[in-house]
A and B are shown apart, each in its own frame.
Chain A
């Protein structure tokens, strides 16, 4: 029982980490607290649903395709809307991203109606048992995908020219502009990558949860908890914080009974902010936490 809870906490943590990664990147680099986050997760899940239902693509194999769609969407949102407002302060970005979230969520509701849909995989429900603990294949695949996403983003930010440019802009926007970087383009790419990763998390979630227009909502409080725990924009910290949160929830259920997961996540946010506002891993990863 305990071992199973730990295992499911780790599986959950992987998914949470993947779902918080884009949120954290956007917050850390752009200073945008992205309230459109839930809608991007849902968007990704519907992309996975469409691809698997109409083209018969496995959501795990379709990840790159879905990420391209979400990247383009995020790129255009940042270029067309957010670039105009996000420097005017936190309040503006909160309101505008929430408005964008409303448009996306209710457009999805209009297109797909409120029905619960599922992505059916030939191997869903299957798994193996090791020492009395069940390891479902879908959960293992999600965990692996979460590692790939975290590793990929980490390598991208530290090894590629574009990734370094993103880090540079987040440290000092004016200086980045002075050395000739096209900052609006870099902001748009950053938000696009954030959207792509968030959408990928939605695609992963579609493999284990039913797909419906509000399915992204429960992920928001978790994304807040993980981001605050790891420090905004801290990529590898996000993975660890994801596991901490997943384990806390899975083990917390043993203590409090079901139904308190979101309260646990929210309580953690408040506590961490009070004790250590820069997160558990020391300094602010990006200098981008300017706020107002």
Chain B
């Protein structure tokens, strides 16, 4: 790959293109995070509660998409029922608050622990499966767990639903409070992905994605790496689920063990760029805002349009926005990035 690139003459011509190429370099682009974060902190005091809620759900979906990114984007394991951990996290928080009367903050620990343990227990047997067999097993896991949650009425109150009291007092504080909590979770999740991608562990996972047998021969402890990645991803989804339980105030099995959420988060990851650090966040912003606008304008058939949009975007952008951006930049500079992403 590098051989062919070296033959091509550098295409940077003129001061404008040179400056543009320099501005679009990954190191420079990272500085954009500072004003972006400042903007997100400024925002909730200057827009209506409706938009604050919309952004809260954008952050939540971005966190879920990042958790998908760890197991699917980076490791290449198609955990298509991954939202089972989101639901478990939500129910772990909800049921501990309901039965033990503990504080919301304490319940978040359970929201992380319960899904992680579930993933740890199931990881060893399930992660031996590959590609479609693994995907199928996780989908079955989602269906089966949902029905168990519906049936364990003594703990979960079944399909009649579970009320989760809010930690914040005034309605305004509820909206803004969960906004910042979700924002924090999104940043935290992105940080985890960043750490994973840069680490030796992350290189191992990417080796597993490109060829597991070769990775194993080269000395990557594939079984342990896969299980750890799956547990990290489960913990991330669980944390987002726990916060969701608090922010929504009412849990229902069909709502949190929802395959539509899987497809949405999955599409976000794919649209943004699977395996990249910031891609899933961009994907979440794009798709969630889009679906919210659609919901506002076409209440009756927004799901039809959403379905169509998911189909069209994944067909047009199979490699994601981050890849598109990287290609645009390499067109300017005439060279390819090391790993093709931000």
Contact A273 B133 (CB under 8 A): yes
Whether, in the assembled complex, A98 has its beta carbon less than 8 Å from a beta carbon of chain B, the answer is yes
- Which chain B residues border A269 with CB–CB below 8 Å? 136-137, 140
Number of chain B interface residues as a range: 35 or more
Whether, in the assembled complex, A277 has its beta carbon less than 8 Å from a beta carbon of chain B, the answer is yes
Contact A101 B78 (CB under 8 A): no
Contact of B148 among A96, A98, A263 (CB under 8 A): A263
Interface locus among A10-18, A102-110, A181-189, A193-201: A102-110
Contact A102 B144 (CB under 8 A): no
- Which chain B residues border A261 with CB–CB below 8 Å? 147
- Which chain A residues border B129 with CB–CB below 8 Å? 273-274, 277
Contact of A262 among B136, B143, B309 (CB under 8 A): B143
Whether, in the assembled complex, B139 has its beta carbon less than 8 Å from a beta carbon of chain A, the answer is yes
Binary CB contact string for chain B from 237 to 269 against chain A (1 if under 8 A, 0 otherwise): 000000000000000000000011001001100
Binary CB contact string for chain B from 123 to 136 against chain A (1 if under 8 A, 0 otherwise): 00110111111011
Bound together, the chains give a CA A103 to CA B263 distance in angstroms of 14
- Chain A residues bordering chain B, tally (CB within 8 A): 45
Contact B147 A266 (CB under 8 A): yes
Contact A95 B143 (CB under 8 A): no
- Which chain B residues border A152 with CB–CB below 8 Å? none
Q: A265 → chain B, closest Cβ, in Å?
A: 7
Bound together, the chains give a CA A54 to CA B80 distance in angstroms of 41
Interface locus among A41-49, A80-88, A139-147: A80-88
- Given A260-B151, A270-B126, the answer on whether A99 and B310 have CB atoms closer than 8 Å is yes
Whether, in the assembled complex, B304 has its beta carbon less than 8 Å from a beta carbon of chain A, the answer is yes
- Given A85-B314, A106-B307, A110-B304, the answer on whether A289 and B132 have CB atoms closer than 8 Å is yes
Whether, in the assembled complex, B23 has its beta carbon less than 8 Å from a beta carbon of chain A, the answer is no
Contact A102 B314 (CB under 8 A): no
Nearest CB in chain A to that of B269: its residue: A91
Contact of B266 among A31, A91, A259, A260 (CB under 8 A): A91
Whether, in the assembled complex, B195 has its beta carbon less than 8 Å from a beta carbon of chain A, the answer is no
Bound together, the chains give a CA A101 to CA B303 distance in angstroms of 10
Contact A92 B314 (CB under 8 A): yes
Q: B259 → chain A, closest Cβ, in Å?
A: 8
Whether, in the assembled complex, B270 has its beta carbon less than 8 Å from a beta carbon of chain A, the answer is yes
- Which chain A residues border B132 with CB–CB below 8 Å? 31, 33, 90, 289, 291-292
Bound together, the chains give a CA A132 to CA B120 distance in angstroms of 49
Binding site for A on B (CB under 8 A): 72, 76, 78, 80, 125-126, 128-133, 135-137, 139-141, 143-144, 146-148, 150-151, 259-260, 263, 266-267, 270, 300-301, 303-304, 306-311, 314-315, 318
Query: What are some 14 contacts across the A-B interface (CB < 8 A)?
Result: A35-B263, A95-B270, A106-B301, A110-B301, A221-B140, A225-B140, A259-B151, A263-B148, A266-B143, A266-B144, A269-B140, A273-B137, A289-B132, A291-B130
